[in-house]
Amino acid sequence: MPRFNSSLSEDAQKLTLKKYINIGVAVDTPNGLVVPVFKDVNKKGITELSRELMAISKKARDGKLTAGDMQGGCFTISSLGGLGTTHFAPIVNAPEVAILGVSKSAMEPVWNGKEFTPRLMMPISLSFDHRVIDGADGARFITIIGNMLSDIRRLVM
């Protein structure tokens, strides 16, 4: 779904499809929200990304991010789950065209066809620019994300 990895010009006349995958991650700091960018995430494993997330989050909270640390994002992930938020609608960071919101996980009963069993559920929400992405593509994208997150093996392959 290449349109999720694109940017829209300020006058909305030019859509640029990115040839790289750089993901911004919103970080709450004492000085407000900042969005450092992870470069070339498609070339890194989950362990490397986890280490990089911890390091850049600390750098952000310490107020030591550079301009380069916050440039070049294609898509942003914002997590308010740590604050106890159960649902929210994140706002797209222009010129990006989409953002994923992650809320607090909780155990919930899920019917498996025979009985209710406990399952960890994580509410996610997707906001996107309808000039670039329509609702059907948004639904397909969120389904893909949900399927990937429901089976951890898909993330480590």
Q: In which domain, by residue range, is 35 found?
A: 2-156
Q: Which of 40, 129, 130, 137 is catalytic?
A: 130
151 noted as active-site residue: no
28 noted as active-site residue: no
CATH of residue 77 = 3.30.559.10
Q: Which of 40, 62, 87, 134 is catalytic?
A: 134
* Strands of the 124-128 sheet, one edge to the other: 37-38, 23-25, 75-79, 98-102, 124-128
Per-residue pLDDT of the chain (157 residues; tens, 9 = 90+): 899 999 999 999 999 999 999 999 999 898 899 999 999 999 998 899 999 999 999 999 999 999 999 999 999 999 998 888 889 999 999 999 999 999 999 999 999 999 999 999 999 999 999 999 999 999 999 999 998 888 877 766 6
Domains identified in the chain, total number: 1
